[in-house]
Amino acid sequence: MREIVRYGTVLGLICAISALVLSATYNLTRARVEEAQAQAFQEALAQVLLGEHEFIPVENLVDKLGGRFNSVKEAYIAAGPQFNGLAVRVSQRGYAGQIEAVVGILPSGEISGVRIIQQSETPGLGGEIVRERFLGQFVGASDIDSLQVKQDGGSIDAVTGATISSRVVVAEVRDALQVFRLLRDQGLFDELSASPGGSERYSVFAEVLPGQYEFEAIENLSERLTESVKSVKEAFVAVGHGPVGLVVKAGVDGYAGPIEVVVGIAAPTGEISGVRVVSQSETPGFGTEVAEAEFLDQFVGLSNAESVRVKQDGGVIDAVTRATVSSRAVATAVRDALLAFESLRDQGLLAVSE
Amino acid sequence: MNFRKALANGLLAENPTFRLVLGMCPTLAVTTSMMNGIGMGLAATFVLVGSNAIVSLVRSFIPHKIRIPCYIVIIATFVTVVDLVMAGFTPALHETLGIFIPLIVVNCIILARAESFASKNSLLSSIGDGLGMGIGFTCALTMLGSIRELLGTGVVLAAPDFNFAGLRVIPEAFKALVVIMAPGGFIVLGLLLGFINWLTRKASAHSS
């Protein structure tokens, strides 16, 4: 009997001291741990939606989702002066524990980035889902049906030897995309747009004319344009830090419908700095290729309007194979933009200002 | 056994991985890269030194019949402290090692040294033993991790926590993925054990 009392006391004493040490350590490190976790989360938010935004949490997310998509825990709207995107925190059971990720989605519905913030998969196998090699595959994706691992008929390369972990991440990204669409259809993002399609407009402008600019629309454009460049719809003078330039919105009829392009032209040189296709409804796989960088990059650096034609018409642009009509349409729009630039410049509307 | 002898003992003569063949589970699981091996080894060393020290200090107070639960509580306390500190101060490594940090509690090396050494020796020797075993364990993990990383991924010195992707030595197409997985781990470990046995036999044949 005395033995048992002694055993109990000794063990109890050791446990009590242990509990003391542990609670002290916990209290000492808790602030740091929470700070590290919060920082990792903020970093993930900034990484998936490139840039500094204010992140506004979506309230009553569960109600808005109608009880679906249980893996989606939180969603944050990235807001500047306009809607810049949605960041979604997803969590689902992986192979060895919860896999928690943050998915960033641009206003266009494309994924801007994925970061894993918490996982306990097997190091060297499932643990590899955090690598850029795997997560980079999601960037730019917007089609939910192709968001599957290759084994399931999709386009995502799973991590070798970690199909289960990979599948879970893909499912989480899919859920995030579904949530984005659901919230968008509920009109949640409209209140934050400065004007319909406003954010898209400004981000595209920055892509075709890199620099810090204020864009001022040119009034009475059709009267000013002495050349007949009927595809040019709007033109904006870019003023601010960096060389002055012009951004032109042009619209032409493509093969299957209207094609709208935005062209950036740098002022002193008169060279095209960038072209983006903002909207089109051409044949997928053929005409749609005119929106790809491979085709559009050909325009960069050109300043002679005559050369801005497809090769079939005597210019330097390689048309997209079997999409000559679409390619020609885009080349026409870009050429008109260049001619409009020259016309406006000659009228002195693009005087350099600081 | 004094401090220095205990230290040398853990490093070579009674290396926990290659001579005592203890703690095989985390050894095989964590040695998928050199950095993982080093990280795990250092965490385990800290726990070893701490638990050996405490067990040695209180060895006269712990009744023989309940020594195992007592050792385990002490070891678990140290491991939890390591876990909390790593989560706060080295979050990247903590995330990489993940579940294997709490599993240090059941690493046979630590319980074995508490039972067979620390409970019967002085504080200083026990600390030396913990240090020696820990460093020996870390060296073994590093060796194993480097070989498996080289053959299994073709890259050496990959350190994601320092944003270093490593140096590719073997072209991607020639890497043997099996080496990184469980069967490869067993094979490499077995071959290494055999090699070290052969070396020691030669060494003792020379000296005798």
Q: In this structure, are A208 and A337 located in the same domain?
A: yes
Q: In this structure, are A114 and A135 located in the same domain?
A: yes
Q: In this structure, are A106 and A221 located in the same domain?
A: no
pLDDT of B55: 93
Mean pLDDT of A26-49: 80
Mean pLDDT of A92-115: 86
pLDDT of B139: 94
Q: Which domain holds residue A166?
A: 54-191
User: Of the ranges A78-82, A166-170, B184-188, which one carries the lowest mean pLDDT score?
Assistant: A78-82
Q: In this structure, are A170 and A88 located in the same domain?
A: yes
- Contact residues, chain A to chain B, C-beta under 8 Å: 3, 6-7, 10-11, 14-15, 18, 21-22, 25-26, 29-30, 32-33, 35-37, 40, 96-97, 118-125, 127, 130-131, 160-161
Interface contacts A/B by beta carbons within 8 Å: 86
Number of domain units in chain A: 2
Distance CA A143, CA A140 (A): 9
pLDDT of A132: 85
Mean pLDDT of A219-238: 68
Query: Are B70 and A40 within 8 A, CB to CB?
Result: no
State which of A141, A172, A191 marks the end of a domain. Answer: A191
B61 contacts chain A (CB < 8 A): yes
Q: Which domain holds residue B62?
A: 3-207
B200 contacts chain A (CB < 8 A): no
Q: Which residue of B has its CA nearest to A120?
A: B98
Nearest to B89 among A22, A32, A122 (CB): A32
User: Is residue A198 pLDDT above 60, yes or no?
Assistant: no
What is the rounded average pLDDT for all residues in chain A?
A: 80
The answer to whether residue A209 is domain-embedded is yes
Question: To probe the interface with B, which of A122, A128, A157, A160 has the most B CB atoms within 10 Å?
Answer: A122
Summarised one tens digit per residue, pLDDT across range A42-77 is 777 777 766 656 677 777 777 777 777 777 777 877
Distance CA B88, CA A25 (A): 11
User: Is residue A104 pLDDT above 90, yes or no?
Assistant: no
Residues A45/A16, Cβ–Cβ less than 8 Å: no
Q: In this structure, are A183 and A151 located in the same domain?
A: yes
Q: What is the pTM of this model?
A: 0.56
Query: Are B73 and A119 within 8 A, CB to CB?
Result: no
Q: In this structure, are A246 and A120 located in the same domain?
A: no
User: Of the ranges A130-139, B3-12, B44-53, B139-148, which one carries the lowest mean pLDDT score?
Assistant: B3-12
Distance CA A194, CA A215 (A): 14
Question: To probe the interface with B, which of A29, A30, A43, A131 has the most B CB atoms within 10 Å?
Answer: A29
State which of A191, A214, A249 marks the end of a domain. Answer: A191
Reported as a pLDDT band with limits 50, 70 and 90, residue A240 is: low
Mean pLDDT of A275-294: 85
Q: In this structure, are A342 and A202 located in the same domain?
A: yes
- A53 CA: distance to closest CA in chain B (Å): 25
Residues B68/B128, Cβ–Cβ less than 8 Å: no
pLDDT of B23: 87
Question: To probe the interface with B, which of A3, A14, A125 has the most B CB atoms within 10 Å?
Answer: A14
Query: Are B80 and A25 within 8 A, CB to CB?
Result: yes
Query: Are B85 and A18 within 8 A, CB to CB?
Result: no
Query: Are B98 and A127 within 8 A, CB to CB?
Result: yes
User: Of the ranges A12-26, A334-348, B63-77, which one carries the lowest mean pLDDT score?
Assistant: A334-348
Mean pLDDT of B139-156: 91
Q: Which residue of A has its CA nearest to B28?
A: A123
B147 contacts chain A (CB < 8 A): no
Reported as a pLDDT band with limits 50, 70 and 90, residue A125 is: confident
CA dist B44 → A58, B83, B117, B136, B196 (Å): 43, 11, 17, 11, 23
ipTM (interface pTM): 0.77
pLDDT of A86: 83
Number of domain units in chain B: 1
Q: In this structure, are A340 and A205 located in the same domain?
A: yes
A193 burial level (CB within 10 Å; 0-12, 13-18, 19+): middle
pLDDT of B127: 92
Q: In this structure, are A117 and A237 located in the same domain?
A: no
CA dist A254 → A40, A201, A279, A310, A332 (Å): 46, 21, 11, 14, 10
Q: Which residues of A touch B27 (CB under 8 A)?
A: none
pLDDT of A103: 87
pLDDT of A22: 95
